[in-house]
Amino acid sequence: MKRLLPMLFLLVAVSAAALVAVQSVNAAQHRKDRGAFQGVVLGPDDKPVPHAAVIYQSSAGSAPHAVHTDSRGHFTIPNLHWDNYDLRASSKGVFSEWEKNVTLHKGETREITLRLIYARSMPKTTSAKSKSH
């Protein structure tokens, strides 16, 4: 029995190591099958915008997700299925145009620049005053 116990521990250790190795290979393959976006958000003055929100969703209309730019205006959206995506940035009430149907291929890291723009026109407001007749 004393000899069997160390052999049992060795067998369990080798089996655990093999399982971890297989899972690592599967995880690496899974990441290789995925894609990513990375890029920068620029303001209307063409300067990077720190802490801007970048909204993205598949073009098929899946629920939107968001990431934020770092202190230099850069962002990364990792681990995405290869698909077509719609992306948009915003900061302090200023938005970029939607980048529609941006194709992300298997294993690709795609660079993208999102530019915040001022509104072309101010929305009309309704007056709280009523006319008396």
Q: Which residue ranges make up each domain of the chain?
A: 34-117
CATH of domain 34-117: 2.60.40.1120
pTM of the full structure: 0.66
pLDDT digits (tens, 9 = 90+) for 16-41: 555 555 454 444 444 468 999 999 99
- 74 pLDDT band, cuts 50/70/90, is very high
Percent residues over pLDDT 90 in the chain: 59
Position 24 scores a pLDDT of: 47
How far, in Å, CA of 129 to CA of 126, rounded?
9
* CA dihedral of residues 115, 120, 123, 124 (deg, nearest 10): 180
